[in-house]
Structure 1
Amino acid sequence: MTPVTEPEISPGALHPDEKPLWTAIILAGQRPEGDPMAAYCHVRYKALIPINGQTMLERVTRALLACPDVCKIIIMAQSPEGLEAGLDADLAGHDDISFVASGDGIATSIHNVIGTAIAPWPVLVTTADNALLTGEILDSFFTAYGGQDVAVAVVDRQTMLAAYPDARRTWLKFRGGAYSGANLFALCNEAAKPAVAFWSSVEKDRKKGWKIFARFGPWLLLRALSRTISFKGAMADAGLRMTLRAEPIVLPIAEAAIDVDKPSDLELVTGILERREG
């Protein structure tokens, strides 16, 4: 089997177009049987869990509204009317915010709207439990973005542990470092659609990186497991197999990789926001 050469891609050479304005999709759905964190916090929808005076969904929405790179926000959930009723009036009635009902799968729902009048290119995807999202994080992401068809925000383990040594995350380990996802995904154009379709097929394995890379053949899986390929190289290789340009964006902000999946996350995020907001 012929080894795949790790591609060297200069982000600045990918797409020299003018700086775009983004459609932001906030994924705010939950399992049909209910969400454990919603039950833990005694609310109907996880996205409406309150933290220090605002729901998680409101926090993410306000951060995106304040971002000059974002021109439109879509809140996607199985029951959008329930979320709309739970938002402050200034958000629920905002001209730049709309609600879209999602289907059974997250990736399939995204695939159905991206590149349409509902969600024109380019598209930024994030989640309602990304409660620590700030303008600083968004600025860092958009500044580093170089026009890739698909870009995924991550945080290096050293960055995380330097700020939060006890934080427990899921780490993807590669040559040169280990990384945790930061719930920010850039989808630039039609070329990104195969990646979204692929994600739909591996959605249940999203916490198991080796299963995802196994879909691209034994050689890439072997290099990923043996850590003889960098994360950037692995994503670029996987992208080339789908005829698109893909790259991770490593953010220098530890909080970017902290979302609310379990009670200990909620405690950590609550403490951070209380200190930040007084």
Structure 2
Amino acid sequence: MTDAGWTALLLAGQRPGVDPLAEAFGQEWKALVQVAGEAMLSRVAKTLLASPSIARVVIVGQHPDQLLIGDCGWLANAPGVSTAVSNSGIAGSIAALSGTSHAPWPILVTTADHPLLTVDMVEAMIAGAADADVAVGVVSSKVLLAAYPENKRTWLKFGGGAWTGANLFALASARARPALQAWSAVERDRKKAIKLIWHFGPLLAVRAMTRTITLAGALSKAGLRLGAIVKPVALPFAEAGIDVDKPSDHALAEQILTKRG
């Protein structure tokens, strides 16, 4: 790695209370749950460090030092890896770090519960984010369900198809800050598509509900209100849309990783 390139913010915190997946596997922190014999945090960090476009990785969590144990202990002394304490919300934590000497632009955001992440996914996301201030990684229902028809996701339905998030976000520069502020306002509604869209005006919400606008069109219009270029990056990898939130996701991820070898 060099001093140039992207900063990866690796979100490894969790919401208040007991996380069901962590509890199911006897862990305090979800990021330390093992999938196919290795903690999710370790897997994602290795992928980011192996990605040519990534120059540094910042692990963000409520108590990040508590995560650097067991098979994640190597991260404590890994070149290019540092930690940061999160604050009251995801967007606020990202905003506080972004553009600092600790986490210079451009920034790729991903999560520790994405153990199926690959270098190809990371590089495709970064390539697809070109010319955008903010880019959101997504996977279409056609791509994901063709490979894993039984998998259940939260689908955002627009003209031209349905999409699920890939837990990948690209923030190019300080022009992304208004989008982070908007994200902070809608964090609680992140899995309720219409409530999310309603924050950008009733007309856009109606068009989304009637599917008379595409996802790209909706993000573009939302971006205009934010003074930023916002676009989706449609990833061709089914696994990019699968994070590990529940035991069924965990079982599927183990199967996939076992096949990968």
TM-score bracket, normalised by the shorter chain, equals over 0.9
Which of 177, 182, 185 matches 2:169?
A: 185
**Is 2:39–2:72's contact at 8 Å kept on the other side of the alignment?**
no
Distance 2:258 2:26 in 1: 21
Note the C-alpha offset of 1:275: 1.3
Secondary structure, aligned partner of 1:112: helix
Task: Please say if 1:206 is aligned against 2:175.
Answer: no
- Structure 2 residue identity aligned to 1:81: D
The alignment status of 1:151 with 2:129, answered yes or no, reads no
In the other structure, the counterpart of 2:240 is 256
TM-score normalised to the size of structure 2? 0.96
Taking the TM superposition and a 5 Å limit, the aligned residue runs for 1:77-92 are: 77-92=61-76
1:165 match: secondary structure: coil
Matched, 1:123 2:115: no
Aligned partner of 1:163 among 129, 136, 147? 147
Within the alignment, does 1:52 sit opposite 2:40 as a pair? no
- Partner of 2:68, secondary structure, is helix
| 238-247 or 24-33, which deviates more | 24-33
CA contact (8 A) 2:38 2:71 kept: no
Q: Mapping of 1:32-51 within 5 angstroms?
A: 32-51=16-35
Cα RMSD (Å): 1.1
Between the aligned partners of 1:121 and 1:87, the Cα distance in structure 2 is: 29
Aligned pair 1:226/2:210, yes or no?
yes
Measure, in 2, the Cα distance between the counterparts of 1:78 and 1:47.
12
Counterpart of 1:113 (choices 93, 97, 102) is 97
Matches within 5 A, 1:129-144: 129-144=113-128
Residue 10 of structure 1: aligned partner: none
CA deviations on 1:123-158 (whole Å, 9 max, x unpaired) are 000000011000111122122222200000000000
3-state SS of 1:73 partner: strand
What is the CA deviation profile of residues 168-202 of structure 1, one whole-angstrom value per residue up to 9, with x for unaligned ones? 10000001010000000000111100111111111
Q: Find the residue that maps to 2:164 and give its secondary structure.
A: strand
Which letter does structure 2 place at the counterpart of 1:135? V
Question: Structure 1: which 5+ residue stretches go unaligned?
Answer: 1-19
Question: Offset of 1:85 from its aligned partner?
Answer: 2.6
SS at match of 1:155: strand
Runs of at least 4 residues off by over 4 Å: none
User: 1:5 corresponds to which residue?
Assistant: none
TM-superposed deviation, 1:71? 0.2
- Structure 2: which 5+ runs fail to align? none
Distance 1:48 1:89, change over 3 A: closer
Q: Secondary structure at the match of 1:74?
A: strand
Q: State the distance in 2 between where 1:99 and 1:87 align.
A: 16
The amino acid that maps onto 1:173 is K
C-alpha deviation, 1:89, in angstroms: 4.1
- State the aligned residue count: 258
TM-score by length of 1: 0.91
Partner of 1:237: 221
